[in-house]
Amino acid sequence: MDDLRDKYISAISSASDEAVLEDLRVQAVGKKGEVSLKMRELGKMTPEERQVAGPALNALKDEINSALAAKKVALADAALNERLKTEWLDVSLPARERRVGTIHPVSQVSEEVTAIFADMGFAVAEGPQIESDWYNFDALNIPGHHPARAEMDTFYTHRKDGDNRPPHVLRTHTSPVQIRSMEAQGAPIRVICPGRVYRADYDQTHTPMFHQVEGLAIDTDISMANLKWVLEEFCRAFFEVDGVELRFRASHFPFTEPSAEVDIRCSWEGGTLKLGEGDDWLEILGSGMVHPKVLEAGGIDPAKYQGFAFGMGIDRIAMLKYGIPDLRAFFDSDLRWLRHYGFPALDQPSLQGGLSR
């Protein structure tokens, strides 16, 4: 037993790694190890011999197991020390730059749009997201048979049987805010109305809830020329392209007359959208001169005042500016997507400091 003890204690002491240590454990105290085989021989001994050999073998086994455990800890400590030598860090150095939160592209673009129009003298107006049928449709000269009023396109609130009061809807645009602003402020007026809107649609470029901004300017001498200038200045500042070219196409909206869809010149060369160049056109918003009936609904005399209005999707122009391919991703709550497309929380968009940094 003394020879076994000297043999394994010496080998364990000089073991260079845990693999060698495991081999020694198997050789000594494994099922077929030398100490284990010696313990099997106890059954062949006389009772007197077992009283002497048994405690000695158990003591030897315990001593070898203790030596193995101690060596394993020593090897682990040595490995940790070597690792720490290569992974040290000077805590007195400045910390790495890290983002403190991330701004969603919709919030960022809303701030950018607000900064641009504020520079042109537009105030921000807000209103309720649950609107009466009158504010959402009637006051905007949208007749009862218009497709937009169908339940397949508009979310109506629930009404009990026998309730004959006018229905309420989740607003389908922010135009009701224009009516409320005209009622509250009168003319002249110059406001933008950003906010959430709701329509029953869902695909790559449509979602049941999205974000819109509409603009309204009313005075005694406003014309389509003023509308054209405002939209050109906005596109030049927002897309950060000096050579913006817009095209106005005749269209029809119940709340404006005349009405125009607005396209921006672009190219799709190499599958990349570039604004302000090329031979293609991309529709970005709708606009027109405010219909006299809409002015009357807002309490403004159409014989004395006139004005223009426009509307665009905040999510859509965010997709165009920042190359976001799918509108549905805006609402997936994917932190990886937000870290990629998001903006630093402490950067405030401004025309002087830059909109997108």
Please give the pLDDT value at position 241: 84
Give percent of the chain with pLDDT exceeding 70: 94
- Distance (Å, rounded) from C-alpha 259 to C-alpha 172? 19
Q: Which of 33-42, 99-108, 305-314 has the highest mean pLDDT?
A: 305-314
- Distance (Å, rounded) from C-alpha 354 to C-alpha 257? 36
Per-residue pLDDT tens digits for 268-290: 877 677 887 888 898 999 999 99
* Position with higher pLDDT, 194 vs 41: 194
Q: Which of 3-17, 52-66, 112-126 has the highest mean pLDDT?
A: 112-126
Residue partners of 236: CB distance under 8 A and separation at least 6: 242, 244
- Distance (Å, rounded) from C-alpha 133 to C-alpha 171? 9
> Could you give phi then psi for residue 182, rounded to 5 degrees?
-65, -40
- Distance (Å, rounded) from C-alpha 186 to C-alpha 299? 7
Please give the pLDDT value at position 153: 77
Q: In this model, does residue 344 exceed pLDDT 90?
A: no
- Distance (Å, rounded) from C-alpha 71 to C-alpha 79? 12
- Distance (Å, rounded) from C-alpha 274 to C-alpha 174? 29
Can you read off the two tokens belonging to residue 104? 């969603």
Q: In this model, does residue 205 exceed pLDDT 80?
A: no
Residue by residue, what is the 3-state secondary structure of the chain? Answer: CHHHHHHHHHHHHCCCCHHHHHHHHHHHHCCCCHHHHHHHHHHHCCHHHHHHHHHHHHHHHHHHHHHHHHHHHHHHHHHHHHHHHHCCCCCCCCCCCCCCCEECHHHHHHHHHHHHHHHCCCEECCCCCEEEHHHHCHHHCCCCCCHHHCCCCCCECCCCCCCCCCCEEECCCCHHHHHHHHHHHCCCEEEEEEEEEECCCCECCECCEEEEEEEEEEECCCCHHHHHHHHHHHHHHHCCCCCCCEEEEEEEECCEEEEEEEEEEEECHHHCCEECCCCEEEEEEEEEEECHHHHHHCCCCCCCCEEEEEEEEHHHHHHHHHCCCCHHHHHCCCHHHHHHHCEECCCCCECCCECCC
What is this structure's pTM? 0.66
Residue type, 291: H
Say if CB 230 and CB 215 are below 8 A apart: yes
Per-residue pLDDT tens digits for 133-173: 899 998 998 887 777 767 667 888 887 777 777 788 899 99
What is the chain's mean pLDDT, rounded?
86
- Listed residue (329, 316, 318, 312) closest to 355, CA to CA: 318
Q: Which of 7-16, 127-136, 160-169 has the highest mean pLDDT?
A: 127-136
- Listed residue (220, 252, 217) closest to 233, CA to CA: 217
Q: What angle do CA 250, 126, 223 make, to 5 degrees?
A: 30
- Distance (Å, rounded) from C-alpha 112 to C-alpha 127? 20
Please give the pLDDT value at position 191: 96
Residue spans of the domains in the chain: they are 2-86, 105-341
Q: Are strands 280-290 and 189-198 parallel, antiparallel or unpaired?
A: unpaired
Q: Are strands 274-275 and 256-267 parallel, antiparallel or unpaired?
A: antiparallel
CATH class name, domain 105-341: alpha beta
Q: In this model, does residue 113 exceed pLDDT 90?
A: yes
- Distance (Å, rounded) from C-alpha 127 to C-alpha 184? 12
